[in-house]
Amino acid sequence: MAIDILFDQASSVMTVVSFTTFLGILWWTYIRHKETDFAKAAQAPFDDEEPLSAEARARIYGINGEENHHG
């Protein structure tokens, strides 16, 4: 019988801990951080790319700026 009470209490504690964690994530996401932080993070994958040279642009897009489609 004592083990049943222990498991019931542990289950209640884990529910409270999980809900508190969920609220913390919501607070961190929507209240603490600003939209500019997320916009900067969204551009992070593109920050290390170098701009295309004129020669590379001409190869990819052709002379008149339209994309070449091979196939």
- Name the pTM for this structure: 0.45
Q: What residues have CB less than 8 Å from 63, skipping those under 6 apart? A: none
Question: What is the Cα–Cα distance from 33 to 29, expressed in whole angstroms?
Answer: 6
Q: List the pLDDT tens digit at each of the 71 positions of the chain.
A: 688 888 888 889 999 999 999 999 988 888 876 777 778 888 888 777 677 777 877 887 776 555 555 54
